[in-house]
């Protein structure tokens, strides 16, 4: 019988401010070991949505702040996910302000110096850290670092400045994100910064509860005994996905805390919890790329699958969708199978998938992802832009729009390299355009290569001139039409000024972005094949 979770006693709050650390002591110890070395490591903490990264970091802050034996005098835990700087200056400004708050209890003079900073934030932070080198250590934790890296407005200059700050022995950095740092960097120029090299290349991962952690949870938080078959069923149903497992336990313990738990009671709790767990599983499912989703479906159909890429393997296992054994994936979670069964029933039911605006918003990502999967050999940077922009939908359409400019800029760079080998128009082109009476303004590009919207004028005359024949060797008219249509969306994303664009319009821009990339990749492929 299905029960309303809001009406039952919740032993384990799984989301929100009431969430608390359950298990994870081994991860806490691993982090403490890394940051308490004579020369501390800068580390990245990586884990999927709902893995409990924030709870772990809050507990870490509590431990470090209260432990008299630690060398850290102050801890700054900065939630970038809810206060995301829009540019380099804003990042440094917020950093200075937050650092001031973190140290004011022990270093009030230094805190006031940072608080008074106006436009020399990096310099002032550097001065304080240098003064602290012989006095104290500061631990700075950047939670939600994905959001900071989602903007291409944070440049290499910022990351180089942070690297310089991190050279101070008074500063140790921890980042927390859903993917490793190099997977998240949006700004192509920023990828070349040496900042990323200061972190241990192997992240500390927070993913599913293992069997030992589950046993510890049941021992320390529950007054129940499990039959052996019941424990196996609990693990098989959830694969240790934190929020999912704890939600099952909430149902189970509501009526049976203090009793012996049988296989049948676990099955009942799994069934009863599915409606509330479905939202968590759905979010984790849509965090997977379409190709990864296809791999998961094959696994569910065959119970095991070989030859899975390392990237797919990590993505699938960390979410609890399956377990790994040697070079194969095994044992898809029971709740995932129920979830996918529901998706199969929806297949082809357009009226149910898109019956209203909310349903459209929740399901249209899959449409775009499927189309994206059809395009072969996409440039790595373009694929990163598309995937990251899509991740911000439907919840953060404005951030998605902000990322359009970076994608457009990358497309132009690819176009100029394909046509000219760089940013210099051949002199012969200008002679032809002058001879046929094309716009005199084109002649300005002889001495100054076009920037911004003027690039559209150059691409237009290359592909669709008014009076002469097209001179484009690679790029097609279709590519020009697509980038010309997408450009205003990128412009809007950079200058929103409080105005919000309709979500469905943003989805239209995403479809247009995908088709731009498809057209450009087709142009490049045809050129390579000699078509």
pLDDT at 348: 45
Kindly state whether residue 20 falls inside one of the protein's structural domains. Answer: no
Given pLDDT bands bounded at 50, 70 and 90, which one contains residue 2?
very low
How confident is the model at residue 498, as a pLDDT?
61
Dig out the tokens for 467 from the structure.
């009076």
**Domain-located, residue 52:** yes
Look at residue 92 and tell me whether its pLDDT is greater than 80.
Answer: yes
> Is 432 part of a structural domain of the chain?
yes
Q: Is 367 in the same domain as 264? A: no
Full domain range(s) for residue 146: 25-205
Q: pLDDT for 486-525, tens place per residue? A: 999 988 866 666 667 888 899 999 999 999 999 999 999 9
Domain count, the chain: 3
Strand partners, 140: 76, 173
In a domain, 11, yes or no: no
215 & 330 share domain: yes
Question: Do 124 and 154 touch, CB atoms closer than 8 A?
Answer: no
What pLDDT digit, counting tens, does each position of 6-23 carry?
Answer: 556 678 877 766 678 888
Task: Single out the residue of 394, 410, 408 nearest to residue 500, CA to CA.
Answer: 394
The mean pLDDT of 186-207, rounded to a whole number, is 87
- Tell me whether residue 8 is in a domain: no
Is 3 inside a domain boundary? no
What residue ranges in 36-145 does DSSP mark as E strands? 43-46, 72-79, 137-143
Asked if the structure places residue 13 within a domain, the reply is no
Chain mean pLDDT for the chain: 88
**pLDDT category, 341, cuts 50, 70, 90?**
confident
Which of 137-141, 154-158, 348-352 is least confident?
348-352
Q: DSSP for 377-432, please give it.
A: S--HHHHHHHHHHHHTTTT-HHHHHHTHHHHHHHHHHHHHHHHHSSS---HHHHHH
Q: Choose between 351 and 143: higher pLDDT.
A: 143
* Whether residue 378 sits in one domain with residue 241: no
Given a contact cutoff of 8 angstroms between Cβ atoms, the answer to whether 173 and 206 are in contact is: no
Same-domain check for residues 139 and 80: yes
Range of lowest pLDDT (180-194, 218-232, 396-410, 467-481): 180-194
Tell me, what CATH number does 169's domain have?
3.40.50.300
Shared-domain flag, residues 90 and 200: yes
Residues 484 and 373 grouped into a single domain: yes
Per-residue pLDDT at 439: 87
- Does 216 share its domain with 201? no
Helix, strand, coil % in the chain, rounded to nearest 5: 60, 10, 35
- 473, 491: one domain: yes
* pLDDT tens string 283-304: 899 888 877 888 898 899 887 8
Residue 63, classified by CB atoms within 10 Å of its CB into exposed (0-12), middle (13-18) or buried (19+), is: middle
The model's pLDDT over 373-384, given as tens digits with 9 standing for 90+, comes to 888 889 988 998
CB half-sphere exposure, 380, CA atoms < 13 A: 7
- 86 and 149, same domain (yes or no): yes
pLDDT value at position 195? Answer: 93
- Final residue in a domain of this structure, among 300, 324, 347: 347
Mean pLDDT value of segment 242-270? 90
Q: What is the CA radius of gyration of the chain?
A: 27
- Do 139 and 277 lie in one domain? The reply is no
Is residue 487 located within the same domain as residue 374?
yes
State whether 257 and 187 are in the same domain.
no
Residues 122 and 165: beta-carbon distance below 8 Å = yes
Point out the domain boundary residue: 178, 205, 232. 205
In a domain, 17, yes or no: no
**How confident is the model over 345-363, as pLDDT tens digits?**
554 456 656 777 777 877 7
Rounded CA separation 465/488 (Å): 21
Residue that terminates a domain, selected from 322, 347, 372: 347
């Amino acid at each position: 019988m299905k029960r309303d979770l809001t009406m039952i006693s919740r032993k384990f709050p799984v989301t929100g401010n009431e969430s608390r650390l359950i298990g994870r002591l081994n991860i806490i110890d691993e982090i403490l070991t890394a940051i308490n070395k004579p020369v501390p490591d800068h580390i990245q903490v990586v884990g999927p949505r709902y893995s409990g990264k924030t709870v772990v970091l809050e507990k870490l802050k509590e431990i470090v702040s209260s432990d008299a034996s630690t060398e850290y005098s102050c801890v700054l835990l900065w939630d970038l996910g809810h206060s995301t700087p829009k540019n380099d200056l804003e990042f440094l400004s917020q950093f200075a302000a937050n650092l001031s708050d973190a140290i004011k209890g022990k270093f009030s003079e230094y805190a006031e110096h940072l608080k008074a900073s106006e436009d020399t934030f990096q310099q002032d932070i550097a001065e304080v850290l240098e003064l602290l080198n012989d006095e104290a250590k500061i631990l700075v934790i950047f939670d939600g670092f994905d959001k900071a890296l989602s903007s291409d407005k944070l440049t290499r200059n910022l990351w180089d400045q942070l690297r310089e700050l991190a050279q101070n022995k008074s500063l140790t950095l921890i980042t927390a994100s859903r993917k490793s740092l190099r997977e998240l960097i949006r700004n192509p120029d920023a990828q070349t910064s040496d900042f990323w090299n200061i972190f241990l290349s192997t992240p500390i991962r927070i993913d599913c509860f293992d069997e030992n952690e589950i046993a510890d949870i049941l021992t320390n938080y529950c007054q129940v005994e499990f039959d052996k078959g019941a424990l196996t069923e609990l693990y098989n149903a959830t694969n240790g996905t934190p929020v999912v497992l704890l939600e099952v336990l909430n149902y189970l313990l509501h009526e049976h805390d203090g009793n012996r738990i049988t296989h049948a009671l676990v099955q009942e709790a799994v069934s009863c919890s599915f409606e509330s767990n479905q939202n968590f599983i759905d979010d984790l499912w849509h965090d997977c790329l379409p190709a990864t989703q296809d791999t998961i479906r094959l696994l569910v159909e065959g119970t095991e699958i070989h030859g899975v890429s390392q990237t797919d393997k990590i993505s699938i296992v960390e979410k609890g969708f399956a377990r790994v054994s040697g070079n194969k994936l095994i044992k898809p979670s029971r709740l995932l199978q129920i979830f996918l069964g529901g998706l199969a029933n929806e297949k082809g039911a357009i009226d149910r998938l898109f019956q209203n605006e909310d349903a459209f918003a929740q399901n249209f990502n899959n449409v775009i992802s499927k189309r994206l999967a059809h395009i072969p050999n996409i440039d790595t940077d373009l694929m990163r832009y598309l995937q990251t922009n899509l991740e911000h939908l439907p919840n953060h359409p404005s951030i998605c729009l902000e990322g359009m400019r970076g994608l457009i800029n990358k497309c132009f760079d690819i176009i100029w390299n394909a046509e000219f080998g760089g940013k210099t128009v051949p002199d012969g082109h200008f002679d032809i355009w002058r001879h046929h009476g094309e716009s005199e303004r084109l002649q300005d590009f002889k001495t100054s290569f076009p920037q911004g919207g003027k690039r559209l004028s150059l691409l237009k005359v290359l592909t669709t001139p008014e009076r002469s024949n097209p001179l484009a060797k690679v790029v097609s008219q279709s590519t020009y039409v697509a980038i010309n249509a997408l450009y205003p969306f990128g412009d809007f994303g950079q200058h929103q000024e409080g105005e919000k664009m309709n979500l469905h319009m943003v989805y239209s821009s995403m479809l247009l972005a995908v088709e731009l990339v498809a057209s450009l990749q087709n142009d490049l492929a045809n050129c390579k094949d000699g078509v």
